[in-house]
Amino acid sequence: MPQLTTSPWFNIFTTCWFILAVLPTLKIPQHPIHNTPWPKPLTSQHNNWTWPWL
């Protein structure tokens, strides 16, 4: 079994967590309808999907 730190999935996993950790700290304009700190394209694509961790 290859080491976890050299696995491409580990890199994807840590990158996703880094993005999730940094996004709330950025000054992103909030969507006027959903009032969530995400860009417009993301919230418009997921109109019926809520972010449970926010």
Q: What is the DSSP letter of 33?
A: T
CA distances to 2, 5, 15, 31, 34 from 10, rounded to whole Å, are 11, 6, 8, 32, 32
Closest among 17, 54, 18 to 37, alpha carbons compared:
54
Q: Could you list the pLDDT tens digit for every one of the 54 residues in the chain?
A: 556 556 777 888 888 888 888 777 766 555 555 555 555 544 444 444 554 544
Please indicate, yes or no, whether the overall pTM of this predicted structure exceeds 0.75. no
